[in-house]
Structure 1
Amino acid sequence: MKIKTLLLSALVAGASYSVSAQTTEPDVKYLSPKFKDNIFISIGVGMQGYMNTDNFDYGFGKVLQPLVNLSVGKWMDPYWGLRGQISGWQSKLYTDVNRLNNNNKFEKFQHKYINLNLDFMLNLTNLWRAYSPDNKWDMTLFLGPGLSFGKFHNKQMDVLINGSIGLGGKYNINKYWAIDLEARTHLMSTFFYTNKYSGQEEIAGRSYQDGLLSLSIGATYTFGGKNFARYESGAQEMRQQLNAQINNLEAELQQTQSQLEAARIAEQIAKKEVAAVEAEKMQVVAKTARKDFAQYVGFTINKTDVKTEQMVILQAIANYMAENPDVKMKVVGYADKQTGSKYFNQKISERRAKNVYNLLIKKFGVPENRLSYVGLGDQDQPFKVNQYNRLVMILGEK
């Protein structure tokens, strides 16, 4: 029995060292636990200018126009996400196409437009540093394709394919609200064309490719608040497996120690019964029937059945009670605090106590009026080591 205890102790120590050696750099990731998590809506207002060679000649600052955008999206994890955005207002173009026939004046053209874009978002801040829910500042790169809808003069609505790229800064007020500052550019074929001066449809400006440059400020609301769950993989998974093995080894070690203690007590009682006179027996009863008298039956995590190797403890207690008819015992069940809810731990402690109580009565013949049982769940932890509290204590009563 001592050899088994020593071997189990060595295995526990070796497994503990292995866990320590393999978990110095755990692989930690964060993910959205559910699809509905980390969905947001943003609105922004600002200014935008139409990028065209003619506008730069005329003065880019004179063609700035208001801008409004609305976005809906989702962060898949703290590093990347997707969003859809609608933006637009009005664009201006000052061109010198017909300046010689117009008293040397630039002609002004303008049109209403709307952009629809699908953006891939990359959080640069979380790539550069470790993610934390307490981070206040974020910088995001976004880019993607889209469609631009616009109407020039009395022409029909034009639909153009665009591409865009931008950079956003975000200040997180709390897990629900954030303030945004966003700079963006759209590139597309030109919207501006006219047949005013040649009788044929021509490009109004000198460029066949145009763009929009915008700057906006706004706010973002995340439904339910940001929620990224910690996910551990790689070496961390191995640590969890090894921890489970350690728990099992510690449970077996505790069971073996309980068996040794029970065997030792049984042997002492037997020797005293043979050698002691009636007065000495009464002294043994008085001594062993104190309230702090305790025997232990250990259990595996989430289990309530008494293992075969633990029966020696119950047999020793039954023998002792048979020889000492004035002794009464209380069977008290416990559960470890770090596993399961309070309700679950209360129920499992009661079942453990009831199983030991039933075995002592039905299998080992202890009178029912000399036993009682109770389950204390995890409200009381007899031992500092968490796994040791998966047990039943048999206590002597005066």
Structure 2
Amino acid sequence: MKIKIYSFTIALLTISSLSFSQEVTKDSVVTENSDKYKVVTNKFFDNWFLGAGGGVQILFGDHDKQMQTKDRLTPAFNVSLGKWFTPGVGIRAGYTGNKLKGLTHNNSAISGGSLKTHSTGEIYQDVKNAGDKGYLEVQEFNYNHIHGDILFNVANIFGGYRENRFYTIAPFVGIGWAWVNDAPKTRQPSINVGLYNAFRLSSAFNLTLDLRGSLVKDDFEGEVGGRKEEGIVAGTLGLAYNFKKRNWDREKVVTISTYDETELNALRERVNKLANDNDALRKQLAESANKDITDVKIEKNILISPILVTFPINESTVSNEARVNLGFFAKAIKEGKSNVVYNISGYADKGTGSPATNERLSKARAEAIYNVLVKEFGVPASQLTTSHYGGVDNMYYNDPRLSRAVIVLGN
């Protein structure tokens, strides 16, 4: 009895090139939010700063127009403690003080008494208006000022948070309490506005330039004149120390991966069917080994299972390991039937990258496999087609790594 035996050469090639540039979990992908305006809010004891500085200040009182500006300048110093609640908004409490200088009428008295309004008794000679010469005395007094401010870091508000930014500017508004202990004594609320400028020296230290304007009532220097309010303008240069934690962390984005796609399910069914066919062929070969063979006719019919090539995130370069396996796959194609056409399908992980990026990446991956098979291993171009599907949900085992791939499947 002659028995015709169909000998099948079975190639079952599956490649897993799993290189990572990012940690993933079984069912989610964790990435850092690229939005420069979104950060994680820190704890209460984070992002505190302590500052101190010195400079000059000037009083705008009733007779400031008659006194030379250089004669009105006095030393100033300040200290402050603050906290940033976000990269754009913070608060601080501080103290500013020392002495102020101005002019007063030498015949001014308080409530009919003999006490002058902080006069030193010195007649000011260098008056701007000659008609006031001999009538104005130099006044000098110590004052104290505590204040609370709300700061708005416009560099971070409008430019987004950047940890290593060299220069930031923060306008501020606030209220305070100012007082003079020298007679005639006074205690008054104040309104404050200004600019807080910071120059980064290191993560711990900033060089600061603090410009402050304070508005108080007309009698703050002890004399009621023609003004409704009086003012103090101060500018100080100093240092600020930033307590740990000093920076802000980017928000983390967790993408939960699910999959329910008809096309991918159909692909799985085709893979399973080919695997079952291979099992049936193995069984036939085993049965034929137990029969008497009087004449053997060998026909070569190569059945090739799908091949899966995976890629690292955001890459389309074919690794050497994958090329080796593609070489085996190409050999099987060329030894098989020439009328079989194989489709090269490119995919990207939907949980990583934008839709436009994934579309480009899936196409580039498919073309990379096509070029290796045709140009490197000589597979006829007529037996290959390419397609790409952009970003897809997890195709196998709920693992996004297996979606950064190319699948080659015979039709």
CA drift at 1:139: 1.2
Partner of 2:169: 139
CA drift at 1:255: 7.3
Partner of 1:70: 79
The answer (yes or no) to whether the contact 1:55–1:95 under 8 Å persists in 2 is: no
Could you state the TM-score of these two structures normalised by the residue count of structure 2? 0.51
Q: C-alpha separation between the residues in 2 aligned to 1:221 and 1:249?
A: 60
The equivalent position to 2:209 in structure 1, one of 161, 168, 181, is: 181
The equivalent position to 1:276 in structure 2, one of 261, 286, 289, is: 289
Helix, strand or coil at the partner of 1:178: strand
The answer (yes or no) to whether the contact 2:64–2:103 under 8 Å persists in 1 is: yes
Q: Structure with the greater relative contact order (CA < 8 A, sep ≥ 6): 1 or 2? A: 2
Q: 1:252 to 1:112 in 2, by over 3 A?
A: farther
Q: 1:26 to 1:142 in 2, by over 3 A?
A: closer
Q: 1:159 to 1:259 in 2, by over 3 A?
A: farther
Q: 1:191 to 1:26 in 2, by over 3 A?
A: closer
Larger radius of gyration: 2
Aligned length: 251
Amino acid at match of 2:285: K
Q: C-alpha separation between the residues in 2 aligned to 1:257 and 1:224?
A: 58
Partner of 2:62: 53
The answer (yes or no) to whether the contact 2:211–2:235 under 8 Å persists in 1 is: yes
CA drift at 1:79: 1.4
Residues 328-372 of structure 1 show CA distances to partners (whole Å, capped at 9, x for unaligned) of: xxxxxxxxxx9xxxxxxxxxxxxxxxxxxxxxxxxxxxxxxxxxx
The answer (yes or no) to whether the contact 1:254–1:388 under 8 Å persists in 2 is: no
Q: Which has the higher helix share?
A: 1
Matched, 1:118 2:148: yes
Partner of 2:221: 192
Q: C-alpha separation between the residues in 1 aligned to 2:167 and 2:55?
A: 21
Amino acid at match of 1:387: R
- Which runs of 5 or more residues in structure 2 are unaligned? 1-33, 109-115, 124-133, 292-307, 309-350, 352-398, 404-411
The within-5 A match list for 1:337-376 is: none
CA drift at 1:31: 3.9
Q: C-alpha separation between the residues in 2 aligned to 1:163 and 1:51?
A: 15
Could you state the TM-score of these two structures normalised by the residue count of structure 1? 0.53
Partner of 2:238: 218
Q: 1:68 to 1:244 in 2, by over 3 A?
A: same
Q: C-alpha separation between the residues in 2 aligned to 1:112 and 1:249?
A: 83
Amino acid at match of 1:106: L
Helix, strand or coil at the partner of 1:229: coil
Amino acid at match of 2:192: S
Amino acid at match of 1:266: D
Residues 122-144 of structure 1 show CA distances to partners (whole Å, capped at 9, x for unaligned) of: 11222342332222111110111
Helix, strand or coil at the partner of 2:258: helix
The answer (yes or no) to whether the contact 2:149–2:174 under 8 Å persists in 1 is: yes
The answer (yes or no) to whether the contact 1:52–1:210 under 8 Å persists in 2 is: yes
Matched, 1:170 2:198: yes
CA drift at 1:273: 2.7
The within-5 A match list for 1:375-394 is: 387-388=401-402
Q: C-alpha separation between the residues in 2 aligned to 1:247 and 1:149?
A: 73
Q: C-alpha separation between the residues in 1 aligned to 2:240 and 2:249?
A: 21
Q: C-alpha separation between the residues in 2 aligned to 1:171 and 1:249?
A: 58
Aligned-residue CA RMSD (Å): 4.2
The within-5 A match list for 1:1-398 is: 28-96=37-105, 98=107, 104-153=134-183, 155=185, 158-189=186-217, 190-193=219-222, 203=223, 205-207=225-227, 209-224=229-244, 226-231=246-251, 241=255, 244-245=257-258, 259=272, 262-277=275-290, 387-388=401-402
Q: C-alpha separation between the residues in 2 aligned to 1:67 and 1:113?
A: 11
Partner of 1:362: none
CA drift at 1:204: 5.7
Partner of 1:306: none
Amino acid at match of 2:242: T
Q: C-alpha separation between the residues in 2 aligned to 1:250 and 1:118?
A: 64
